A and B are shown apart, each in its own frame.
Chain A
C-alpha cells in the first residue's frame, strides 16, 4: 500500500491545467500544420495560418491559447494499492482553484444554471473516477471550452438505424454546427452503453492521441470513413468554407441493451487541451 497525499494531487492538477492551457499538444499542432497543407480554400488556409501563429505565441509567451479556458474535466484512475490520505475531490478542486487564479486563466463556471453567479475559481471540476490495479494514480485533465461542447449531443438511436444511422447523425451534427465549434474539430464518439456511459466514453475518446486508431476494426473503419465524409461537407476552418473541417474522428464503443443504440457526439475545437500525469 502506497500513500498519496492530497498535496500531491493538488499540485499535479494545477501544473497540468496551466500546461494544457498554454501549450498545445504536439499531435494537435502537427495535425493543424498538415491541415494547412491540405486545405483547398484560400480563406481556410489563412485561418489555419492564424491558428498556428496563435498557438506558437501562446506556447512561447506562456499565455492561454484561447480565452475560453474551459470547464475542467478530470479522469482519475486510482490503483487499488493506493491509500489516498484525505478527500481527493477537494484536493482536485483546490488544484483547479490554484491554476485558474495563479495562471491568469478565465473563470467560466457559474454555481447554478439559472442564477448564473460565477464561482470565481472555476470549480467545481467534473470528475470521473476509475479503480485500477497497482499503486499509482493517473490524472488526466481537460480544459473543455463551451463553443465546441455546446455543439455536442446524445441521441438514443434504434438498433435498426445501425452503422449508417450513426454516420448520418454525426454528419448532420457537424454540418449543422458549421463554424460554431471552431473547426477544424476533433469528433469524439461514444457508441453503446446507456445514456451517460455513451457520453463519458465519447469524452474519453477525446483524450486519445490523434494518430491512435481504434483497435476495434468496426470502430476504426467508422473513424476513417467519417473523417473523410466530414471533410467533404465543405464547412472548412472556422466554417468559412473549405476541405479541412475535422482533424480526427475518435470512436469508443461499449456493450449495450438489445433494444438500444446510444450515440454521444462530443465535439472538440482545434484548441484541444488535455494533459496526463502518473503519480
Chain B
C-alpha cells in the first residue's frame, strides 16, 4: 500500500499489522538525544521545533553525506531505546514511527489509545534506504551531529506495519508461527 504523509487518522485506521507500505512525503528524524530534548520541552510546556501532529518520526542517525549525495547511509536504529520518550509525543498527535525491533507493551497500548502506528524497516539496509531520500535538511539540534533533527522528503520508503492501532503485533504473531523449539516461552 502506498501512503503519503502527513498520516491522517483515517489512513492509520486502514493500516493493519503485516501490511507492506511505501511511504512518500515528509518525515522527521529523531533518535536518543533528540527525543530526550523533545520530551523535556513537552514537560516544560514549551513549543517543539516542529509540529508532530499527524507526522512520522524515523529513528535514524545517518552517516555524513558524500559530496553530491542528498544524505549518507540511513537505516533504522533500534526502537526500544525510544520507548521511554514515545508516549508524550503520541499525546501531541504523532501518528507514526519507523524503526527496528519490538516495542514494549506500554507503547502498544499507547498506539491504540492515540490512534498511531509503528513501522519497521530493514536494519542495516542503510545504503538502500538512502536512495529513497530526495531532500534532507537539519531543522533542529545541529549540535547533536548525526542525532540532529532532519526534515526528509522521501519517495517510496519501504516499511512494514508491525504494531497497528488495534493492538496487533506482526512480530509476535509471526515468531510464534515459526517457533518450533517446544516449550520455549514466546511471550518474552
Contacts and interface: CB of A to CB of B under 8 A. Distances in A.
A107 B146 contact: yes
B174 A57 contact: no
A150 interface: yes
A187 B127 CA distance: 24
A240 B121 CA distance: 10
Secondary structure dominating the interface of B: loop
Contacts of A116: 33
A277 interface: no
Nearest to B75: A67
A43 B174 CA distance: 10
B127 A54 contact: yes
A235 B184 CA distance: 12
A104 interface: yes
A179 B169 CA distance: 13
A241 B128 contact: no
Interface in B59-76: 60-66, 69, 72-75
Given A106-B61, A116-B33, A270 B124 contact: yes
B178 A243 contact: yes
A239 B174 CA distance: 9
Secondary structure dominating the interface of A: loop
Contacts of B131: 57
A224 B102 CA distance: 28
Interface size range of chain A in the complex: 35 or more
Contacts of A63: 63, 66, 69, 72-73, 127, 130
A234 B124 contact: no
Interface in A75-90: none
A120 B144 CA distance: 10
A182 B126 CA distance: 12
Interface string A78-111: 0000000000000000000000000011111000
Interface in A50-79: 50-51, 53-55, 57-58, 61, 63-69
Interface size range of chain B in the complex: 35 or more
A106 to B, nearest CB: 4
Interface in A201-249: 229, 232-236, 238-243
Given A40-B178, A235-B175, A57 B184 contact: no
Interface string B59-99: 01111111001001111011010000000000000000000
Given A50-B128, A67-B73, A150-B78, A240 B160 contact: yes
Contact of A68 (B77, B80, B158, B170): B77
B47 interface: no
Given A66-B75, A104-B63, A175-B188, A241 B178 contact: yes
A106 B125 CA distance: 15
Given A57-B131, A63-B63, A63-B130, 16 more contacts: A54-B128, A67-B74, A67-B146, A104-B72, A105-B64, A147-B123, A178-B175, A234-B178, A235-B178, A239-B175, A240-B170, A240-B174, A241-B173, A241-B174, A241-B177, A241-B178
